[in-house]
Amino acid sequence: AEFALHTVSRLIGAPPGYVGYDEGGQLTEAVRRRPYQVILFDEIEKAHADVWNSLMQILEEGHLTDGHGRTVDFRNTVIVMTSNIGTRFVHRGSGSLGFQVGAQSDEDKQFADDISQNLKRTFRPEFLNRIDEIIVFRRLNRQDMMQITDIQMRDIEERLGDQGLHIQVTEAAKGWLAGKGYDPTFGARPLRRTIQRFVESPLSQRLLEGEFVSGDTVLVDLDGEEDALAFHKAQEHEPAL
């Protein structure tokens, strides 16, 4: 919505006589005041063609004229654009749900080729030719998800630490969360909700019931029979995980 035709003027500022003229452009004014910037355009494929035209001038000439007629220097900025153009190719070549097993080099190459072709169909050649580097992110694998799970669990550990509690999560439990929180299309986005549902909510309930108190170490393990997580108080002799 921010990149729609009628809001393009918000980037460079409204022309004289129009509402918002005195405010300047959200993009040009920010760069004019602080010329050393990293600028992110998220999901650039949804932008109006007029936005692409403005970006082409920035990428080619390194400057842009705002609504006040001032030339804004972009030569000290780094411009990053993201796109979800390749989302529809994620499932190609995958006949099963969950993580893929084995070498994926051929599939990853085909994936990158498909995205490259789709970029050429979506953007004009003169726009793509002004981009220094196009990086195609490979699909997440199990190891990636385990690392992301570790990061998210560390956040919970820090919050519990404020209450005098500690938490240990077994590798089996992390693997279970990583699998539940992975989606081939959305990547790791569902993981946050998965951890909230299966860790934070039940743990909060147990804290309210007084099952764990300050000084305790909460051990989160996988209950294989129930296909669920189990929470219990770690004994002093139990080794750190």
Side chain identity, residue 216: D
pLDDT per residue over 147-206, tens digit each? 999 999 999 999 999 989 999 999 999 999 999 998 877 778 899 999 999 999 999 999
Query: Is residue 146 domain-shared with residue 220, that is, in the same domain?
Result: yes
Mean pLDDT of 50-64: 89
40 lies in some domain: yes
**What's the total number of domains in the chain?**
3
In tens, the pLDDT along 65-117 reads 887 888 999 999 999 999 988 776 665 544 444 455 444 567 778 878 888 89
* 75 and 123 in a common domain: no
- Please tell me the distance from the alpha carbon of residue 29 to that of residue 33, in angstroms, as a whole number: 6
Residue 238 lies in a domain: no
Which residue carries 């993580």 as its tokens?
99
Could you tell me if 219 and 188 lie in one domain? yes
Does residue 55 fall inside a structural domain? yes
pLDDT of residue 159: 92
- pLDDT over threshold 60, residue 216: yes
Query: 27 in a domain, yes or no?
Result: yes
Q: Exposed, middle or buried, 66 (CB in 10 Å: 0-12/13-18/19+)? A: buried
CB 31 within 8 A of CB 40: no
- Same structural domain for residues 118 and 172? no
Residue 208 lies in a domain: yes
**Do 201 and 150 fall into the same domain?**
yes
| Distance (Å) of CA 203 to CA 92, 156, 188, 209, 241 | 38, 10, 22, 10, 19
End-to-end CA distance of the chain: 47
Q: What stretches of 69-165 adopt beta strand conformation (E)? A: 71-73, 77-81
Q: What is the pLDDT of residues 120-150, one digit of tens each?
A: 999 999 999 999 999 988 778 888 999 999 9
Q: Domain check: are 76 and 151 in the same one?
A: no
Q: Within this chain, do residues 105 and 65 fall inside the same structural domain, yes or no? A: no
Evaluate whether residue 134 is within a structural domain: no
Cα–Cα distance between 156 and 196 in angstroms, integer?
10
Q: Domain range spanning residue 169? A: 142-233
Residues 179, 171 contacting (CB under 8 angstroms): no
16 vs 215, residue with greater confidence? 215
Burial of residue 164 (number of CB atoms within 10 Å: 0-12, 13-18, 19+): exposed
Q: pLDDT-based confidence at 16, cuts 50/70/90?
A: low
23 and 106 fall within a common domain: no
Contacts of 175 (CB under 8 A, 6+ apart): 142, 146, 222
Examine residue 149 and state whether it is found in any structural domain, yes or no: yes
Same domain, 89 and 77: no
Distances (CA, A) of 156 to 112, 118, 168, 190: 36, 40, 11, 17
Report if residue 91 sits inside a domain: yes
CATH of the domain at 191: 1.10.8.60
Same domain, 113 and 146: no
Task: Determine contact, residues 114/86, Cβ cutoff 8 Å.
Answer: yes
Buried b (16+ CB within 10 A) or exposed e, 177-196: bbbbbbbbeebbeebeebbe
How far is it, in rounded angstroms, from Cα 190 to Cα 178? 10
Q: Residues with Cβ < 8 Å from 70, sequence gap 6 or more?
A: 28, 32
Residue 180 φ/ψ, nearest 5 degrees: -65, -35
What is the token pair recorded at 10? 């918000």
Asked if residue 181 and residue 121 are part of one domain, the reply reads: no
In this structure, are 77 and 90 located in the same domain?
no
